[in-house]
Amino acid sequence: MPQGTKPVVVVTRRLPDVIETRMMELFDARLNLEDNPMTPAELIEAVKTAEILVPTVTDRIDARVLSQAGPQLKLIASFGTGVDHIDLATARQRNITVTNTPGVLTEDTADMTMALILAVSRRLSEGERLVRAGDWKGWSPTAMLGHRIYGKRLGIVGMGRIGQALARRARGFGLSVHYHNRRRVHPDLEKELEATYWESLDQMLARMDIVSVNCPHTPATYHLLSSRRLQLLRKEAILVNTSRGEVVDEIALTKALQNGQLAGAGLDVFEHEPAINPKLMALDNVVLLPHMGSATIEGRIDMGEKVIINIKTFVDGHTPPDRVLEQMF
């Protein structure tokens, strides 16, 4: 990029005002004021002119899009933690650096995961719907009975930042923490979290009361919770997913919930979102949220600031702090 000129930064979605204002000050920013998702054709047009692209997790930056990128595109500064929407191999081949925004969404997502655990166990959504429908006839000793979470076993699939933050919250609620991860965490961290490691995911799933999916979506984790593994879960168990919908076989999950093979589920993400299986939506034992696990004002601003830092560092000729090298689970 020529010295002293502002880089052309194309932003695919509407971001918080304070972030967009700062981008306009620092860069030649092209904003999406209507906040309509870009079509594949619009993304192709964007990469033809952008020196830096700022996509979100809903933008598919695949080989077809990247193959049309102009030689000036040198950085994809993604607004989000996950990078499964970007073809990293093709980006690497074209010498395009990719960054993300890790860390800033940890607490917000862990909060939402804990909220879903409580909502499913205590049937909060069902109770709220009952009241709004005008069908509540008053308190009864046997009405709307859920399950106590104190003393239950929580199995965390993916003990990264969010998994660890969830474990800390879970201990406060009296849950026994178990986890499966590609690599075992440091013994000191295990001791701090009072967490039990399971090398075998199958063995852990069969013994848990609550299972929380907190690993990223990668080729290795696609349908990690397959039909076979879902059948390992106890009939009294519940499943919560605030990670990526693709990690769970959604059709198999729906059947398990319909057939009483699983007590309930709390889902903030879906395999083909925003489309949701109508059969899943018809079930009372599922809490469904619109991918809002990280949706706090503070979190979105922190994400935007990370994007700006990554861009500024790259433009100044240094390695961005959040450069994505590989996907890990």
**Same domain, yes or no, for 69 and 112?**
no
Give the Cα separation of 186 and 296 in Å (integer): 31
- This prediction has a pTM of 0.89
- Contact call for residues 48 and 8 (beta carbons, < 8 A): no
Which of 20, 42, 190, 273 does the annotation list as catalytic? 273
Q: What is the pLDDT of residue 328?
A: 43
Give the Cα separation of 54 and 287 in Å (integer): 32
Counted domains in the chain: 2
Domain-embedded: residue 198:
yes
**Centroid of chain to Cα 227:** 21
Which of 94, 291, 305, 323 does the annotation list as catalytic? 291
**β-sheet with 8-11: strand ranges across:** 28-30, 8-11, 52-54, 75-77, 97-99
Question: Over 70: is that where the pLDDT of 304 sits?
Answer: yes
Specify whether 273 is catalytic: yes
Give the Cα separation of 24 and 308 in Å (integer): 11
> What's the burial of 46, exposed, middle or buried (CB within 10 Å: 0-12/13-18/19+)?
buried
Domain-embedded: residue 1:
no
**Same domain, yes or no, for 204 and 176?**
yes
pLDDT tens for 34-54 read 989 999 999 999 999 999 999
The domain of 267 spans 106-288
Angle, CA 21 vertex, CA 17 and CA 22 arms, to 5°: 120
CATH number at residue 15: 3.40.50.720
Q: What is the pLDDT of residue 318?
A: 97
Which of 244, 246, 250, 300 does the annotation list as catalytic? 244
Would the CA dihedral through 250, 251, 253, 257 be positive or negative?
positive
Query: Token pair for residue 109?
Result: 């997502």
